[in-house]
Structure formats: structure tokens, C-alpha cells
Amino acid sequence: MSNIEEEIETATEAAEEIELINIPDSSEESNSNKNLEDDFEMTSSDEELETSLLQLVRNKNQNMEDICSEWIQLYVTKPEAALIKFMQFVLEASGSGYQIPEDSNLPLKNAKILNAANGQFENKSPRYPLRMRASPALTMDVTHFVQQLLHAVISTAIILDNCFLRHISGFLVVASDSDVLPLRHTSTLIALKMMTTLSDLMTLQQDKLRTLWMQMFDEVFLKRRRDEVEDIRLLCITECGLWLHKFPQCYINPMQAQHLFEALQDSSRKVCESSLRALINLQKKPKLRLNCLQLGYKFRTTLLNLSMRSESELSEMAIQLLVRYHRAMPQLLDVQMIEIIEQLVFATKRGVAQASAELLHHRFQQAATERERVQALVQFFMKFEGQEHAAYLVDSFYGRSQIVLDWSTMVDMLLKPENLTSQQTSVIIEILTIGVKQAVTGEMPPGRSTNTLLRQPMPDANKQASEIILPALATLLRQYRIDYVDIKNLLELPPHMTCSQAQAQELIELIKSLMFKHSNFAVLQKSATALEQLFRQCSALIPNYRKDLLEKAVVNYMKAESAWQQAIISSQHARFKVCNKRLLVALRLISALYERFDLHEYQLTDTVLASLKRAIRDENKAPEVSLPDEAVRLCLEIYYVAICWDLKRVQEAVSAGKYVDEDCLMLGDHLEEFFLAAFHIIEYSSDTSISCEAFVSTCDLLVLFADTLRRSGNNALRSLEYKSSTCELQTLEKFVLRYVFNGDGSVAKTSDGQMLATLQSKRRVLAGFCKLAFNNIIPVLRASAVFQYYEQFHASFGDILHATLERCMSINMINFGMALMHTCLMVYKRIRADHASPAQAADSAQFTKLINMARLFGDLLSQNLIKSRPAVLILHRAGIRYATEWSTDPTEVPGNLLYLKVLRQFVPQLLAEDMLDVLNYLDGTSSRERRTSCATGWEPLLAYRNSLESALNQSCRRELDM
């Protein structure tokens, strides 16, 4: 028997002893109280309860059971005084300063008391105790007291006393209908918590308690569940979920679940979330399942709309609920609804995608064989072939279904592809490759977000992949060698498996052969990566195999370069096309290999540099006699990688104590030559792809050869530090502004591959420039050039700029504050230049965006108000100085006073001790006489000042509350 049932039984026995089986009428209250006096030994006096009930409840040194016991003892002797104490508790928790007269007699006039209390609320602002910073603690204390009091009462005959429950519930019902929000909110909270606790007492005087409970349900819950205040609606839905969860041990009937479904249409995200959580829990209750299914069918469109909301938590829970309902009632979703949910496996939010994958998993499980399941998965992917994210599909099933990890079936299907099209085999290869990669590394696909960044590799994934896939990998490489997409995906597998020496030798020979037959650059890059891993696993094979491969690639390049030059010199126009193609293939191979293997011994740097110089010199010549654009880009990549390898080798030599002076001189010369070529290409090249490659490589090398080298103990290595000129930094800044920040900043709603490639290229360029800012290569103030687009291009580049801002904060807070000030000023000045008057500028869409950008900056500073204090102070002081600069006419309103509207967005980031200083600084720059000398134009200053005063007052009140 539970504790509650034992207490109920004890209370029933006590009631029989004092002959109070039925709850008495009000005429019998005095006799009832007389009998109750005999049940207690009075140990407390009225003076012990002079402290308000709320103060006792909130005092952590007080025992809650003792407080409840003393209140019960007071009720036994003086029921009016005890009831007044409780009613005073409700009023004080609401924030009212009204004191109920102690000489009030039963029956208490609830309406009269509440009318008097309405005028005694100390805080006229929207903030009140349940909306203060300490509100969670207050809510917990109040709830705990109500629960403890009711549980203490059931061990006495008071629970059968018509006076106790009737007066308390009556007062709460009237108070919860008050027009005064603090009182209505607090009374609703206490009433609902009281109803939840009473649900546990349904076996005691069930009919009478049911009547009282249902009366409160009608008068409190049904009215307040549609309250205009979100927090009150949230309370109602949360408690309703708790009542239904206890069914049938509650007074509420199953059809009341409709209130939860209706709450799904609420405009509040919190209310919808609470309702969804409750419905998910109720679906697990067998006795409520049928009612929930019927209501789920009725509200299925609402749930479907929620599944497509931008809030991932709501979307995920709505999909979970729909999938569970669909499994229990297949007719709940029609074909179109199913398709909508299924496509969400490609959503960027992982929780949403995995929830929708449950629907597909259930459908795939109905297939008779594993081969049919894989085919069903492939057909689903092909059905939405516009989706380019196979990695998203795999991640949606990863950890939820074994279908994407059924490598044995996939390998068998690829080895015997009867009745499979080439497109189907390509999809299987891609799913197989991505599944192995994620199982071994645990990494999610780029772009997919989740609440946790923990990697989730599958135990023994490497071993399983090696046992299942490796024996067939060489055969698969030969079988699918023609299609570059298939071969590229298959070449990603070796780094995630462990090979025997015999397997490694076979794969190395095969991959070497493929590298000299394929011209696709992506295939060559994957081949080089696979070879690097295979060489690492089987070190005994490295010297001969690697030397043969690299020498052959270098010889091919030298021959191709010589043939191309000879064709140009001799003007053999017929051979230009053939020589160009041969040179491109050779350069691709060299570039792919150089990324993984150091080719320094083959001395390719001078040859590549000569090609770059020639390309720059001949850029105005006819295309057929100039180096192809792709060749120029590849030469840049090769030269960049060569410098990186040289720096690595020099640093290792310094660590080993070797002489590196000559190597450093040569490396410095190569670096200078690279920057000369790269900056020329960035500034003048008409080919955007080449300019982007030069830009990114330049930014990377500027970081590598920054002041970190100056800290080296080797003089030769220190001499390699490169300090950019102002002209070079301006060239980089102009390019990033010209290339990245064009257009309106909106993300195109298209799956066009070219559009996505352009976006990725822009992100890469922007990230390169941002590296210079947070590595202190360029002053943070110069980075304002890109920060000014934080709001306008937030959808496309917000993550990059946000991360850069966070990193810049750690360098110097004062400089960071000035950078934010300069950023806002750049946009502000541009807006003012476009409008004739401050009033027109304030009404413009551009100014609204500036305000939004300031709020975004404010959110960033709010992450740590203590650390960001210097930045916030400099923002306000510099902003005030700029906005209040006076003209020669003492009666004229400052022309840039509008800027204070921007500055106003940073008031919440001020610490309490700084608010008064900023306020005094503001008053020092503009006297009251000057502000009042002109009737109009001072609104921005007055609004800014009011914000400071309001924030200061609220801070003082919070300190008092604490």
C-alpha cells in the first residue's frame, strides 16, 4: 500500500472515532473544530506565526513539515486566522502589499478582499514575483508548500472539514479570474498544484472531492487554459498532462485529452512543446491509447504543420507522435502526408531527420529479405534524386536502423548487380562508403546540427568493415573503375579499414594503375589519400612503391610541360589542344600527390613558378597560346603546398638542431615570389576560381608565417616572419567585399549545384579573411569591413562571422568594443548619407536592420558580461561622444543623436555598477537646459536615458529581491 493510501486509511479511522463520517455543513463547523482541538497538544502560540507564511516557506532554515504542522494547529484553534494566513500567503506571493484584517470572520468575503488587494500591488511594471529572476525558486517553494500542506491535512480530519477546502478553493477560483495579472497568475499556479495533489486523494470521500475538484476544473482550468498570458496557459497544459498521466487514478476523463491537442494550435512554442511531451507520454498508456488515436486523427493536420516548424524540438516531437499514431492506425496518414514526413530525413536538424526515419524504418522492415530492404532504401533515395545529401540519409538511420550498416548485403549486391541499374549501384556504393565512414569515425555530415556534438563511432566498426569489405574491395575497384563517381567513393574506404600486407600490396598496385588512367581531380585526390594510409599501415612497402609512383608522376609532368612549351615556341597550333590536355592531367596528378607526399627532392618549385610568371605575363594573349586557367590554379596549389612542406621540413630541422640558414633564405625567396604572383592574380585576374584559390592560399600563408615564427629561438626561422603591407591588406579587403558580399544576402531556394558551389566558394574566401582577424594578422578594427554585413548576410555567413567575433573577443576587449562601434558607425553613416533627415533615416528598412545587427552584437556580449565589460563600456562612451557632438549653434540638436537608438540596444549588457557611470557621462555631455531648449529632436537621447534609468532601477529591485 502506498504512503498516500496509508494516510487516507488513517484519516478515515480518525474520522470514525470522532463521528465525522460526512463533511459537515457550515452550521456544524464550530462543533467540528471543538472535536479537532482534542487531537492536538498545542505547543505553539499566535506569536509564533506572526511572521508571514510566505516568509516562513521561503526561509531555508525552516522545516516545511513544521510549518504545515503549525498552520494545522492554528486552524484547529482559530480557523479564521489560519485561512487568512493562507489567503495572505497567496496575496504576498503575487506581490500585493495588502494586509487582510485579522478580525475578519467566516464566511470570508473573497471578492471584497481581492478588490482591496488590487490597489496594493507595489510593482506597477510587467515584472512581478513569478516573473522575477528568482521566480523558479519561488515557484518551487510555493508548490512544495501546497503539496506538503495537503498531504499533512489528510492525516487529520480537516480534509473532511467542509470549511477548509471550500474556503481555500473558493478564494483561489475568484483570484484566478482577477484582471490583475500577478494575482491571476499566482492564484492559477496554486490552484492547479492543489488540484494535482488532490488527484492523489480521490479514494477519500470520492464523491465530495470529485465535485470540488471538477468545480475547480471548470472555474480555473477551462477558463485559464485560453488566458492571454503564455505562462498561465503553459501551467494549465502542463498540469493537465500530469492529471491524464495518472489515469484512471484521477478525476479527469480520457476525452479531456482534447485540451492537449487543442493546445497544439497555440501560438506559444512552450505551450506546444509541453502539450507534445504530455501526448507522447500518454501514448504509452494502454487505457488512453484509443482516445489519443481518435483525437490524433482529428488533429493530424495540426501535427503535420508542427512537424515542419523551424523549431527542431517541436518538429521532432510532432513527427514522433505522428509515426507512433500511424503505426497503431495506418489510415491516420494519407500518401501525401507520408511523403512530407519521409522527405524530412534530409532535414538539417538531426533529431527531426531521425524521427522521420522511424517511419521509413517501419516500412522497410516489412520487406521479406535484406536485399529487398536495401533496394527499398535505394529506391527512396532515387525518388528524391534532387537531394544531393546521401550523407544526411545515412545519418538519419545511423543508430536507429541497421539498414545503412548492412554492408554484407550491399557488397553482395554490388558483386552481383543483376537487375540493378548503374544509378542504383552508384547509390549503393555511396551509402556503403558513407556508412563505413560514419561508423568508424562517428562524425556527422557537415551542415547537420544536433544538440550534442559527441561522436558516436560504432564499436568494432573498423574490424567489421575490414572483414566484410576488404576481401572484395579490389574486385569492386576493377568492376566500377569506369565511373569516376563510383571509383571516388570506393577509394574513400581504405583509410577506414585495416589491411594485411598482401591486401595492401594488391590495393597499392591497383590504385597506382588507376591514378595514371583517370584524369578526374577528385579521383586523384582520393587515390593519394588512400595510398598514404596504405603506406602507413605497411611501412615495409613504402620505399619502392612510393618512389616508383612519385618518379613516374614527376616524369610525366616534365614531359608534358616540355611538350607544351615546344608547341608554343614552334607555333604548332594543331598540337595546342592535345598538349593542354596532357599538361592538365599531369598537373592534377602532381597536385594530388603533393598534398600527401613531400616532392621537394624533385625540385618542382622553380618550374611551377616559371609557369605562373609566364601565365601572368601572357594573360592578355589569346587563350589558345596561354596557360589554361585550370593549369594556373593548379600551379598555385602546387606552389602553395610546396611552401608548406618546406616550412614543415625547416621547423623539423630546427628542432633537430640542424643548420637551416640557406634553406630559410630559399624559402623566404619562394614566399616573396608566391605573394607577388598571388596578389597580382587577386587584383587583376578575370577568372574568379583562380582569384579565390590565390586569396585562400595567401591568407593561409600569412597565418603560417605570422609572428608565431618570431618566438622561435632560431634566427634564420625568425627571419621568415612576413609582415603584410597596408596595400596588400587593402587588396584582400577589397576582394572579399567585392566577391562575397554582393546581392541582398538571401539564401537562394534552389538545389542548383552551381549556386551551392558558389556559396561554398564564398564561405571559403570569407573564412580565409576571418583567419587574419582572429590570428591578429590584421587589426580587429579592419575586420569591421566584413562585420558590417553580419545581419544582412546572416543566413549565408552568420556562423562564420559569429565564430570570428567570438575569437576576436579573446584578443583585446577594448579593441573589440571599438570594432563593434566602428562596424555600427559604418552602416549608420551609409544610412544617413542616403536620407535627407534623421527622421527619414529612422523610418528606413536599413535602419531597422542596423538595430537588429546591434541586438545580435548584444547577444554576443551577453555570453559573459564580466569579461565583455570593457567592450560594453567603450561602446557606450564612444557612442555617446559621437552622438552628442555639438555644432556651433548651442540650440541646435546634434545631427547624429539618432545613433543613440543603436546604442540603446547595448543597455542590457551593462553591469549594474556601470549603469550609473554611463548615465552620469551622458548627463555630462548634454545639460538639461540644452535638451529642453528645443521641443523636438531629442527623442533618441531621452529614450536612451530612460532605458538606462529603467535598467538601473530593475537592477536595484533584483538586488532587493535576492
Q: What is the pLDDT of residues 109-152, one digit of tens each?
A: 777 788 777 776 755 555 677 877 677 888 999 999 999 998 88
Q: Tell me the percentage of the chain whose pLDDT exceeds 90.
A: 58
The whole-number pLDDT of residue 815 equals 94
Q: Is 676 helix (H, G, I), strand (E, B) or coil?
A: helix
The confidence band for 445, taking pLDDT boundaries of 50, 70 and 90, is confident
The confidence band for 15, taking pLDDT boundaries of 50, 70 and 90, is very low
The more confidently predicted of residues 480 and 453 is: 480
User: Of 50, 130, 38, whose CA–CA distance to 84 is shortest?
Assistant: 50
The single-letter DSSP state of residue 106 is S
Q: Would the pLDDT of 181 be above 70?
A: yes
The whole-number pLDDT of residue 205 equals 54
Q: Would the pLDDT of 40 be above 60?
A: no
The whole-number pLDDT of residue 387 equals 57
CA distance 584 to 576: 12
User: Of 948, 940, 739, 780, whose CA–CA distance to 847 is shortest?
Assistant: 940
Q: Which of 14-23, 27-36, 718-727 has the lowest mean pLDDT?
A: 14-23
What number is the average pLDDT over the span 534-540? Answer: 79
CA distance 739 to 470: 45
Q: Tell me the percentage of the chain whose pLDDT exceeds 70.
A: 87
CA distance 410 to 374: 7
Q: Is 466 helix (H, G, I), strand (E, B) or coil?
A: helix
CB 636 within 8 A of CB 612: yes
Q: Would the pLDDT of 14 be above 70?
A: no
Q: Is 285 helix (H, G, I), strand (E, B) or coil?
A: coil
pLDDT tens digits, one per residue of 646-701: 999 999 999 999 999 999 999 999 999 999 999 999 999 888 999 999 999 999 99
pLDDT tens digits, one per residue of 831-847: 999 998 888 999 999 99
Q: Is 121 helix (H, G, I), strand (E, B) or coil?
A: strand
The per-residue DSSP string of 615-651 comes to HHHTTTS-GGGS--HHHHHHHHHHHHHHHHHHHHHHH
The whole-number pLDDT of residue 451 equals 75
Q: Would the pLDDT of 265 be above 50?
A: yes
User: Of 817, 814, 841, 840, whose CA–CA distance to 827 is shortest?
Assistant: 841
User: Of 782, 802, 778, whose CA–CA distance to 790 is shortest?
Assistant: 802
The more confidently predicted of residues 84 and 387 is: 84
The whole-number pLDDT of residue 48 equals 40
CA distance 411 to 476: 9
- What lies within 8 Å, CB to CB, of 516 at 6+ separation is 552, 556, 589
What is the phi/psi pair of residue 716, to 5°? -65, -40
Instruction: Please name the residue that has the C-alpha cell 592535345.
Output: 578
Instruction: Please name the residue that has the C-alpha cell 558483386.
Output: 415
Signed CA dihedral, 111, 114, 119, 123: sign only: negative
The whole-number pLDDT of residue 339 equals 92
Strand partners, 96: 121
> What sections of 154-268 are H helices per DSSP?
162-175, 181-198, 206-216, 222-224, 230-245, 258-263
Q: Would the pLDDT of 712 be above 90?
A: no
Q: Would the pLDDT of 27 be above 70?
A: no
The whole-number pLDDT of residue 929 equals 46
The whole-number pLDDT of residue 936 equals 66
- What lies within 8 Å, CB to CB, of 45 at 6+ separation is none
What number is the average pLDDT over the span 372-377? Answer: 94
The confidence band for 385, taking pLDDT boundaries of 50, 70 and 90, is low
Average pLDDT score, the chain: 86
Strand partners, 349: 449
The whole-number pLDDT of residue 752 equals 56
CA distance 650 to 834: 55
Highest-pLDDT range among 17-26, 194-203, 227-236:
227-236
- What lies within 8 Å, CB to CB, of 945 at 6+ separation is 919, 922
The whole-number pLDDT of residue 435 equals 95
3-state helix, strand, coil in the chain (%, to 5): 70, 0, 25
pLDDT tens digits, one per residue of 274-304: 999 999 999 989 889 999 999 999 999 999 9
For the chain, the maximum distance between any two Cα atoms, rounded to a whole number of angstroms, is 125
The more confidently predicted of residues 923 and 891 is: 923
* Whole-structure pTM value: 0.79
pLDDT tens digits, one per residue of 790-815: 999 998 899 999 999 999 999 999 99
Highest-pLDDT range among 542-556, 642-656, 705-719:
642-656
The whole-number pLDDT of residue 321 equals 95
Highest-pLDDT range among 20-24, 164-168, 260-264, 894-898:
260-264
